[in-house]
Chain A
């Protein structure tokens, strides 16, 4: 479960940024008082245009950056007070995630498993399950630099899932991927939901959101514009398409 309460993140602008934006203001607010809850066995979508604050919000939830104020709770753990304990429960994947090109897929999986202190027996079991699920056996010993984009994405998914996290955070996971590779991510999200995991993902593709989400939140300029179930969103929308409804909310 993820519980976010009045989450705010402010960044200090550098001299170059102030010059570029022609402003004297030192502080910029990326996320302001954002609150929502994601439940286990549920897929939660965080929607918003570019620069809306989606990545910042997900980075705060995954404890990569610290919020200026507010609270984050991961499976009952205060993620601000105990970030490392919270991270043990989290699997984090972004669309722009890179992999170590000079290592092979197997070495990367072993490395991340060791960082999460996954016991050897469990690692063997998880690898067998994930390699089979993602059809990775054919390239597990190939260097990352020699893999296709789709294969790399499978390695990233395997790396995210190796410690069997209860909470999965996906930041625009299908961005830049072809339809077939994107499909593997969608399958993964569905499978996580079926296993009772808590899934939050950010996107600006309404098709994906419609396909996967149980609940959604729309964020714009760091402020939450909408928060509710997908069923309510569909029933309340006045437009024919979900994309138009999303645009209307953002522009309101």
Chain B
């Protein structure tokens, strides 16, 4: 009998455009859109920063040592123009404030003499760090000029540069690429799956309970010889499936954007993500999402049973999204790790366990603990749903 209810409710749900958009279309589009937007924005910023002609203001003359050195830097390091102010610092500052200049370069007037005397010369770059590319360009110019000056000085002093290096230091990263991704972006993936799992449950929950009350079909259903708990379970299964379907659509969107839509330019990143998205990982992920989705359904059903209109149900359930997102967001912070304490915090435990799964360093005892905590909560939520659905005042208007 549960299957009969489930089959009918699923058929109706699949015919509801609004639910299908929330369950399949939006989750499937989110990753391709996110990746597209992020790569195209960052790519266009990088391109424009590289191609941008930087105007460097100097207080001296174009024949000065640093001005000459700047001219000597090949244009492959980025186009530039040196504007000399011949001692008129107020005009130069004024032009900088009016954004006619990008960078200001200050140096001592006797810089050439100081360098010749093997003394230290002070050089100051003034730039706006909020403007992408300016700092990078100034640093790269200075590195070239400094390297040349250092080489000349070592040569003049007859010093072997290598002899001044007492150590050859190597900092080796023992973390694998997979662990790095797990730590840096691992929290983001479960966050998306959880958010869509919640959204995927929302519309069917409202439609199958409040909607049935609103349309006047619940009374007829309750007059049939079907156990009330079977009606509840049949409907809840559709809600749970919708939540999992939304999470799966998001995962499918991610897979498609990486494998077929050629959206990620970094080949190594594609390789690492492909090694993460194995069938075993997906099974483990959905194993974790299952009690969480049951919990979502168990929380939404009592609200949907209690409320009288679709609008009223939506106005209560939609803000609950924040309650779900907050613990999921904690999982995004670096340094928050899965341990006995965090494994007992609902939602956060699922984010952190998934993060460990992505990084490939999951502790299966903590995995089991997280699963058990969510399962107990899901059970409590379902029992609460059953009690609310059994109340005459909630079901009938």
> Contact: A116 with B216, CB < 8 Å?
no
Q: How far is the CA of A11 from the CA of B391 in the complex (A)?
A: 12
Question: Which residues in window 206-223 of B have CB below 8 A to A?
Answer: 215-217, 219-220, 222-223
23 CB contacts below 8 A, A to B, read A11-B393, A12-B393, A59-B219, A62-B223, A64-B396, A65-B392, A84-B226, A84-B227, A85-B225, A87-B223, A88-B225, A92-B223, A94-B219, A94-B220, A96-B216, A99-B217, A101-B215, A103-B8, A103-B12, A107-B11, A112-B224, A114-B4, A159-B220
* A contact residues around B12 at 8 Å (CB): 100, 102-103
Question: Which residues in window 46-79 of A have CB below 8 A to B?
Answer: 59, 62-66
Closest partner residue, chain A, to B1 (CB atom): A115
Known: A97-B220, A99-B217. A87 touches B225 (CB 8 A): yes
Q: How far is the CA of A88 from the CA of B8 in the complex (A)?
A: 20
Question: Which residues in window 1-36 of B have CB below 8 A to A?
Answer: 1, 4, 8, 11-12, 15-16
* A contact residues around B224 at 8 Å (CB): 87, 112, 115-116
- CB-contact partner of B4 in A11, A87, A111, under 8 A: A111
Q: How far is the CA of A117 from the CA of B30 in the complex (A)?
A: 44
Question: Which residues in window 326-354 of B have CB below 8 A to A?
Answer: none
> Contact: B217 with A98, CB < 8 Å?
yes
* A contact residues around B220 at 8 Å (CB): 92, 94, 97-98, 112, 159
* B contact residues around A116 at 8 Å (CB): 224-225
* B contact residues around A92 at 8 Å (CB): 219-220, 223
Q: What string of 1s and 0s marks CB contacts (under 8 Å) between A120-144 and chain B? A: 0000000000000000000000000
> Contact: A97 with B225, CB < 8 Å?
no
Question: Which residues in window 115-160 of B have CB below 8 A to A?
Answer: none
* B contact residues around A59 at 8 Å (CB): 219, 396
Q: How far is the CA of A97 from the CA of B215 in the complex (A)?
A: 8
Q: How many residues of B contact A (CB 8 A)?
A: 21
* B contact residues around A103 at 8 Å (CB): 8, 11-12, 15
Least distance between B339 CB and chain A CB atoms (Å) = 44
Q: How far is the CA of A222 from the CA of B11 in the complex (A)?
A: 41
Q: Count A/B pairs, Cβ under 8 Å.
A: 69
Q: How far is the CA of A100 from the CA of B4 in the complex (A)?
A: 15
- CB-contact partner of A97 in B1, B15, B217, B393, under 8 A: B217
Q: What string of 1s and 0s marks CB contacts (under 8 Å) between B372-397 and chain A? A: 00000000000000000000110010
Known: A97-B216, A112-B224, A115-B224. A102 touches B8 (CB 8 A): no
| The 7 A-B residue pairs with the shortest CB-CB distance in the complex, in nearest-first order | A98-B216, A92-B223, A98-B215, A87-B225, A102-B15, A84-B225, A115-B224
Known: A102-B15, A111-B8. A64 touches B217 (CB 8 A): no
Closest partner residue, chain B, to A9 (CB atom): B392
- CB-contact partner of B219 in A87, A97, A107, under 8 A: A97
Q: How far is the CA of A79 from the CA of B62 in the complex (A)?
A: 104
Q: How far is the CA of A98 from the CA of B216 in the complex (A)?
A: 5
Most chain A CB inside 10 Å of its own CB: which residue of B12, B215, B223: B223
Least distance between A81 CB and chain B CB atoms (Å) = 14
Tell me if A90 counts as interface (CB < 8 A to partner B): yes
* B contact residues around A115 at 8 Å (CB): 1, 4, 224-226
* B contact residues around A101 at 8 Å (CB): 215
Least distance between B329 CB and chain A CB atoms (Å) = 36
Q: How far is the CA of A115 from the CA of B5 in the complex (A)?
A: 8
> Contact: B392 with A90, CB < 8 Å?
no
Q: How far is the CA of A117 from the CA of B225 in the complex (A)?
A: 9
> Contact: A102 with B227, CB < 8 Å?
no
Q: How far is the CA of A114 from the CA of B234 in the complex (A)?
A: 14
Most chain A CB inside 10 Å of its own CB: which residue of B4, B15, B224, B392: B224
* B contact residues around A14 at 8 Å (CB): 393
> Contact: A63 with B396, CB < 8 Å?
no
* A contact residues around B396 at 8 Å (CB): 59, 64-65
* A contact residues around B392 at 8 Å (CB): 65-66
Closest partner residue, chain A, to B15 (CB atom): A102
> Contact: B393 with A90, CB < 8 Å?
no
Q: How far is the CA of A97 from the CA of B12 in the complex (A)?
A: 18
Q: How far is the CA of A192 from the CA of B8 in the complex (A)?
A: 29
> Contact: B217 with A100, CB < 8 Å?
yes
Least distance between A184 CB and chain B CB atoms (Å) = 18
* A contact residues around B219 at 8 Å (CB): 59, 64, 92, 94, 97
Q: What string of 1s and 0s marks CB contacts (under 8 Å) between B184-223 and chain A? A: 0000000000000000000000000000000111011011
Q: How far is the CA of A84 from the CA of B220 in the complex (A)?
A: 14
* B contact residues around A12 at 8 Å (CB): 393
Q: How far is the CA of A59 from the CA of B220 in the complex (A)?
A: 11
Closest partner residue, chain B, to A12 (CB atom): B393
